[in-house]
Amino acid sequence: MMEFGCLERPLAKFFHSYGAFVSRHQFPFIAFPVLLTLYLATGGLHLTSIITISLSTQCLEVEDHLLQVTVVARNGGNILLPEYARSIKRLDMYIQNRIKVKFRNKTYTYRDLCLRWKKKCPGNDHIQIISELYNHGINITYPTFRMGNRSGYLGAGLGGVSLSKDDNNTVILASAKAWLLVYQLKFFPTNVSYVSGVWEKAFKIHMDNYPEDPYISITYFHSQTLAEELKRNADSLMPRFVMAFVILMIFAVICSLVTIKGTFYVDWVLSKPILSIFGVINAGMGIASAMGGLILLDVQYNDIVAVMPFLVVAVGTDNMFLMVAAVKRTSRALPLEKRIGECMSDAAVSILITALTDAFSFGVGTITTIPAVQIFCIYTCCALVLTFLYQVASSPSTRLLWLGSRVHPDPSHASNRKQCAVTNFFQNWYAPILMQPAIKALAGIWYCIYVGFAIYGCTQLREGLEPVNLLVDDSYAKPHYVALERHFWHYGATLQIVVSNAPNLSNPYERSRIEEMVLAFANAPQAIGEQSVQFWMNEMKRYYRTELNITIRDDAFYEMAAHYLYTNDADPWMEDVKWAVDKHNRPYIYAFRFLIGMRDISSTIQQQIATRSFREVARRYAEYNVTTFMPLWLFTDQYDLVVPNTDAISMITIIMSVGFSVDYSAHITYGYVISKEADPRERVRDALGGLGWPVVQGAASTILAVAVLADVPAYMIVTFFKTV
């Protein structure tokens, strides 16, 4: 048999010498990790969590204060009817007038904090106007409603729509089920932004206590909701981590107890519960040091890192069982220095292998461009490394303090190498049965079936990180996302399209190209159609053609555009155009915006398809530097960074699985490789006898560590539990 000892032998020799050295100078190796942990843990006092982070120069973080309220008609009613309109009016007035906050002896309402346009709060008056027109028998076209020279897009704010056709075969509004109310608050200067944030919190309290209305049901959301709900996720984990820590300590103590043969009395000479407790504490020290140290180094923290301690304490406990097993395999007749040396040469190399695989898998994750994955992997990798270093440093030192048990003077006496019943089972029963040809064949078949199911499962992966899955099950925002998906994301959501490098619009060919581009966007598979286009140039042509009966002149295009855009009829459109002056001091349009309506973007898969589709249209007109945007694009951009059909949470679990899945097999394989037996069957017996029980203990401790997460009402956390 070819041997590969170029690494194992030097490492084993190094750890043997290291163990002997520690046995002669144990107290510094106990004191230093403890003092270092106490210092680094102070970083936790500066813990602040981030929700968004920009790691790209293409991204710009914009602070805003946006509130949404969905109003749905009860019992499937038509929300355009008068009784529903009155209920919405009461709600709107309640929000604008009754919700108040005080700051520096001044009282603020929505009207004091709203983002103003032309010195007015935009409000939701259109809801009452549409209801009045509908109930007076006026046909309302959809998704764009036009009255004279004015038009308004209803697709984004009116949901659950049923349509019909009038005598002229025009699509008109028949009924609807929901309205979306939007409130925008000031976010500048800083003191006003602070008051806006306080008002948002007051808004949530008032909405919680808003009297139940017989006609409408409401859901609500504000700009701090996602941050607050993610924090609830993290806050719910702290007591569970304490519970997991205590459970692992109890489990470790129980596993360390040895009974006197033939009785149920504990043999306190061979039992080492204190060593087991210290092993679990070592893992806790590594976690505290990693988190505190990274925070002191200004490494940003995200609430998803709150799951990390459960994983690391499980790995640390696994390693503790291997160390304890290695101690038990040494002869009690040997001097302490030699026992510790043998223990370290046996266990430390095995632990090093798994520590390296775990740290490497998470280390690879640190170079990803997904901020949540990167932050989680940095913290986990550092915690695993520090836990390993603490265990190698302090574990042999603490063992020295409790290994001074009585021994038989004869080194070959059986009492000096007592073997527990479970170890005997793995070595003398399980291993021989496993080596039977029929059992090996059955195990091979079962493994092939297992791999087949795993491959099939991988082919069935689908994107699952819907925004709603970031919330706990009882979150007040969850019904809001459900309402948006049900009533507003299937049809009507608005896409903004910006032309940053506008051509010479006085050139009729360039205007025709722009019109061609607008139609290409409007007729994309995920767009509603031409009837959803909101474009200032279309409205300008209509104005001159129908109102003034004038044809637009090419040589006077910009003058005519300025005349139209600065009339009262064009109020909504003037904000969509950016002007500049050329070298001859003549004004021209250098950038503009238009909007279209979208359909079928309720799922993450549909959102990705829509994102790619619209960006493909934009690429056809690259000379105009076209950009498409809607808030959901912030999520779809992250989906495209990871493997198709996965999400950020799945990405983390994949990284975690790569490292953890090799741990137990690596321990057994290492035990087989270093066995001094010549016969392969005896090697298997030796490896399973020495490591079978510690591996079972480690697997059980891992399950116990994450079992406390099983009933957490949050997709993000339950995903980790299921993966482990």
- Both 81 and 198 in one domain: the answer is yes
- Both 25 and 76 in one domain: the answer is no
User: Does residue 610 belong to any structural domain of this protein?
Assistant: yes
Query: What is the rounded CA–CA span in Å between residue 88 and residue 327?
Result: 73
CA angle 386, 391, 397 (to 5 degrees): 135
User: Does residue 711 belong to any structural domain of this protein?
Assistant: yes
Last residue of a domain, one of 158, 189, 222: 222
Query: What is the rounded CA–CA span in Å between residue 607 and residue 602?
Result: 7
What b-and-e string marks burial along 441-470, b requiring 16 or more CB atoms within 10 Å of the CB?
eeeeeeeeeeeeeeeeeeeeeebebbebbb
Position 552: which residue type? I
User: Does residue 667 belong to any structural domain of this protein?
Assistant: no
Q: Please give the pLDDT value at position 401.
A: 64
Closest among 659, 605, 604 to 469, alpha carbons compared: 604
- Both 73 and 210 in one domain: the answer is yes
- Both 239 and 142 in one domain: the answer is no
- Both 371 and 398 in one domain: the answer is yes
Both structure tokens of 291 = 């988190």
- Both 332 and 394 in one domain: the answer is yes
- Both 369 and 245 in one domain: the answer is yes
Domain that holds residue 133: 65-222
User: Does residue 92 belong to any structural domain of this protein?
Assistant: yes
- Phi and psi of 145, rounded to 5°? -105, 135
Cis before 508 (ω within 30) = no
pLDDT digit string, tens, across residues 266-306: 777 677 788 788 888 999 999 999 999 999 998 888 877 88
User: Does residue 111 belong to any structural domain of this protein?
Assistant: yes
- Both 501 and 356 in one domain: the answer is no
Last residue of a domain, one of 188, 222, 256: 222
Report the 3 state secondary structure along 519-580: HHHHCCCCECCHHHCECHHHHHHHHHHHHCCCCCCHHHHHHHHHHHHCCHHHCCCHHHEEEE
- Both 271 and 358 in one domain: the answer is yes
The stretches in the chain having pLDDT less than 70 are: 1-6, 49-64, 269, 369, 399-419, 461-467, 470, 568-571, 634-635, 637-660
Position 610: which residue type? A
User: Does residue 325 belong to any structural domain of this protein?
Assistant: yes
User: Does residue 39 belong to any structural domain of this protein?
Assistant: yes
Closest among 78, 104, 129, 270 to 195, alpha carbons compared: 104
Both structure tokens of 80 = 């355009």
- Both 260 and 392 in one domain: the answer is yes
CB 278 within 8 A of CB 398: yes
- Both 524 and 540 in one domain: the answer is yes
Query: What is the rounded CA–CA span in Å between residue 389 and residue 36?
Result: 12
Q: Please give the pLDDT value at position 407.
A: 45
User: Does residue 494 belong to any structural domain of this protein?
Assistant: yes
The count of domains in the chain is 3
- Both 627 and 503 in one domain: the answer is yes
Using alpha carbons, list the distances in angstroms from residue 311 to 19, 100, 302, 465.
Answer: 27, 45, 16, 21
Helix axes 336-365 and 663-674, enclosed angle (nearest 10):
140
